[in-house]
Amino acid sequence: MKNRFIKKPNKQKKKRQVIPLRLNILFFVIFILFSALILRLGVVQIVQGETYKRQLEETDDVSVTKNVPRGVIYDRNYNLLVGNSAVKSITYARSEKTPPSEMISVAKKLDKLITVTPDTKLTERDLQDYWILTHEKASLARLTKAEKNLDGAKAYKKQVENVTKADLDSLSSEDKRIATIYKKMTAGYALSQVAIKSKGVTDEEIAKVSENLESLPGVDTTTDWNRFYTYDETLRSILGSVSTEKQGIPSDKVDYYLAQGYSRNDRVGRSYLEAQYESVLAGQKSKSNSVLDSNGNIVETVEKYEGSKGKDLVLSVDVEFQKKVEEILKNNMQIGKASGGSDLFDRAFAVAMDPYTGQVLALAGQQINNKGEYEDYSLGNFTTAYNMGSAVKGATVLGGIMDGAISENQTFYDQPIKFKGTKKKSSWFNRSGEGGRTLDPIGALEISSNSYMYQVSMKMAGAKYVYDGPFRASTDTFDTMRYYYNQFGLGVKTGIDLPGEQIGFKGDDKTVGKILDFSIGQYDSYTPLQLAQYGATIANGGYRVQPTMLKEIRDPSTNGDTVGKVATEIEPKVLNQIGAPASAIKEVQEGFYAVTHGSSGTGKSYFNDIPVSVAGKTGTAQAYYDGPKKESTMAVVWNTTFVGYAPAEKPEISIAVVVPWGYRENSSDPKINMKISQQIFKAYFDLKEERAKAGKDSSKVEQPINNKAAAAVAQSKLND
C-alpha cells in the first residue's frame, strides 16, 4: 500500500533540463563556425584581397596578340618594290582551356556561314581525330575495360587504332569541311590568332560572321595582308620571301624567335633581305585584352595597344637601272649562245656600285635553265666563284709594290718564261718570244702582259729567274700573295648585308710554278661581288668599302603618298685601307685608263660612245667547267671578265662583269663581257641624263612614292 504513495520520477521535467544544454552546445558550435567564417572572409578580403584580385584578372582577362603589316621595301628612288595588299580575313583564337568539343561546335557554325573547300591535304590522322570527336560515345564503347583504365594518351591511341576505314568513308563532304576548319583552328597556339579563311572572303561572309560573333567564341573578322612584288622577277631572289602562317617560324631558328616574343605560327622573313632585316620590317604586334567565360572561351576583346607597322627599307638599288642591266645580260647571253663552243655557257653576272659609299646600284645575274628560259640569278654574285683572269692584275702590281718586291716604276722585259722540264708561259701576244718589249706597270696593264705579272710573282717569291733553269721558291708565297689580294676584297667576305656570302675557293696545288698562275687570276677563284669591291677600291684611291643593299630606313608612311621620315641613314663603312702609297695607286689607275684609251689597250674599242671616260681592266681565264652538266666536268672553258669605273677622273660608278664558261677551248671569243660592260655604262649615264632633263631629284626631304606600278599589281592580287 505504501507504494501507492511513493512519488514517481518526473520524466518530462528531466527532458526539459537536457534540451537546453544541447541547444547551448549547438549555438556555441554555430558561433565558433560563424566566427571562423568571418575571420576567414576578413583575411581573404583585407589581407589577401589584392592577390586574389590579380589572380582573377589573370584568369579572366588575358592578352591576345595580333600581327601587324610588315614594312615595305623601296628602291633608291622610292619606287615600291615590295608592298602589302590588304585582304579580308576570318580568324580564330582559342584559350588554353578551350575543349576540342567547343571548337568542333564553333567549326560547325562557321561552316554554315562561310564557304570553305575541304583541304586536300587532310591526313588520315586528321580525319580519325575528327571522327573520334564527333562520335565520342561510339569511340569509347570500342575500348576494352583494360584500355579504358590506361592513361589519357595511351587510351586515345587505342581510340585512334579502333577507327575503321568504313568510319572514315562515312564522313561526308560537310564533315570534311568542318574537319578542315577545325584543323586550322588547332594550328595556332593558345591566345594567338590564326586565319580560318583569308583568301576570297566576301563582304557577305564578313557580314554573316560579324552578326553571329556572340555565338562564335574566339572568332573575329579582321584585315590581313599578303606580300606582293611590283617588278615580278626583278631582284626577286635578293628580296627574299616571307613564311606563310602554316610554315611559321623556321625550325632551325625556333628558340631564337620564341625568345624574341614570336609565336610558332608567326610569319617571318625566310630568306635574304626579308630575313636580314626581319627586326626592322616586322613591327610591333598589337595587343588586346580578351575576357574569358568559365569554360575558357573568348567572349569579348578590347584593343589595348594597336601595335606599330614595321619600318620601311629604302634600298640602294635603282630598279630602272637594274632592269636595264638584266636586259643587257639576257640580250648578250643570246649572242654568246649563238657562238660556237657555247654549249656549257649558261650564266652571266654584273655588279654596279658607288665606289665611295659602297651602295649597290645594281646586282644582276641571269641563268638559263634546262628549258632554255632565263631566270633571276642575282644571288650568284656572292654565292658562286670563278677564276677571274687578268682583271685582277692591278692587285698583283700593287701587291708587289706593297711587298717591296718591285718599285713603283719597275720595268720588266716581256718574254716567255720557261723553267726546266716545263712548257713556256708567255703573254697572249708573244707566244713566239719575238717582238717583246720593256714594260712598266702602266704598259703591262694596258696590254695585259702575263710575263710582267709572272716576274712580279717571282720577285715576291724571292726567286732568281734563269731561262730553262729550276724554280726554287717557298710555297709560303701563296699566303703572301693572298694577304695582299685580301686587302682589295679578293678571297675574303665583302661584308654585304645579305646572308650566305661565299669567299671563293683557294687553289690546292702547291706546285711552286702555280704562283705564276696566281698572278694572272688563274689559281684562286672569287665571286663577282669580290671583283666589284676590288675595282671600287682602286677607283676610290685605296679604301675597301663595305657594299650595302640598304640606303636608309624610314618610318612608315602616314598618308600613302609620301614616304615616312628617315629613321636611320646608312653611313659608308671602310673595312680597310690598302697599304700602298697614293702614287702607286695612281699608277695602276693610269694603267686602267690605258686599257680603255691606250693605242694598244685591250679594251680601247668598246667605250668610244660613252659620254664620260671609262677606266678598267679586261680579263680572260682558262678554267675547268664545274657546272650542272656533270658529264662535262673538267672540260676546258674560258671565263671572260671586266672590272672598271667611270668617270675615270672622279668615279661615281664601278662595275664588275663576269661571264663564266663562255666558250670551250679552241672556240672564238664573242667578247660579250665587253659588250655588256659598254652597255651598262651607257645605260647608267643615259638614265642619269634623262632624269636630269626631267628635273627628277632624289634628295628632296619629302619623297613622293612612285606607286603606280605597285597599285596595279596590288589590285591584280585582290582580283585574284
Residues serving a catalytic function are: 390
3-state SS string over 508-534?
Answer: CCCCCCHHHHHHCCCCCCECHHHHHHH
Closest C-alpha to 513, from 417, 432, 436 = 417
Q: For residue 222, list its beta bridge partners.
A: 89
Q: Report yes or no: 349 and 382 within 8 Å, Cβ to Cβ.
A: no
Q: Is 615 exposed, middle or buried (CB count within 10 Å of its CB: 0-12, 13-18, 19+)?
A: buried
Residue ranges in 97-172 assigned as alpha helix (H): 100-113, 124-134, 136-141, 145-148, 152-161, 165-169
Cell of 458: 717571282
Set of cell numbers at residue 713:
599589281
Q: How many Å apart are CA 676 and CA 659, to the nearest integer?
A: 10
What stretches of 503-660 show up as alpha helix (H) in DSSP? 514-519, 528-539, 582-597
Cα–Cα distance, 647 to 405 (Å, whole number) = 32
CA distances from 602 to 513, 592, 645, 694 (A): 26, 10, 16, 37
Give the Å distances, CA to CA, from 269 to 135, 274, 534.
Answer: 41, 4, 31
- Quote the Cα angle for 701-702-707, to 5°: 135
| Cβ neighbourhood burial of 169 (10 Å; 0-12, 13-18, 19+) | exposed
Strand stretches in 600-664, DSSP E:
615-624, 636-646, 653-664
> Please, is 555 exposed, middle or buried when counting C-beta atoms within 10 Å of its C-beta (0-12, 13-18, 19+)?
middle
Q: What is the CA radius of gyration of the chain?
A: 39
User: DSSP labels for 358-392?
Assistant: -BEEEEEEEEE-TTS-EEE-TTHHHH--B--GGGG
Alpha carbons 195 and 268: distance in angstroms, whole number: 16
- H or E element: which one contains 478? helix 476-487
Angstrom distances, CA of residue 31 to CA of 19, 20, 38, 39, 198: 18, 16, 10, 12, 64
Report residue 23: phi and psi, to 5°: -60, -40
| Per-residue buried b or exposed e for 667-684, using 16+ beta carbons within 10 Å of the residue's own CB | eebbbbbbbbbbbbbbbb
Burial zone of 87 (CB within 10 Å; 0-12 exposed, 13-18 middle, 19+ buried): middle
Which of helix, strand or coil describes residue 292?
strand
b vs e for 490-516, b when ≥16 Cβ sit within 10 Å of the residue's Cβ? bbbbbbbbbeebbbbeebeeeebebbb
Q: Which three cell numbers stand for residue 584?
A: 702607286
Q: CA of 715: how far to CAs of 227, 297, 320, in Å?
A: 12, 37, 22
- Rounded CA separation 100/241 (Å): 34
Q: Which of 385, 327, 318, 382 is nearest to 652 (CA)?
A: 318
Rounded-to-integer distance, Cα 698 and Cα 703, Å: 7
CA separation for the pair 455, 471 (Å, rounded): 12
Residue 148 and residue 158 in contact, taking contact as beta carbons nearer than 8 Å = no
Whole-angstrom distance between the N-terminal and C-terminal Cα of the chain? 122
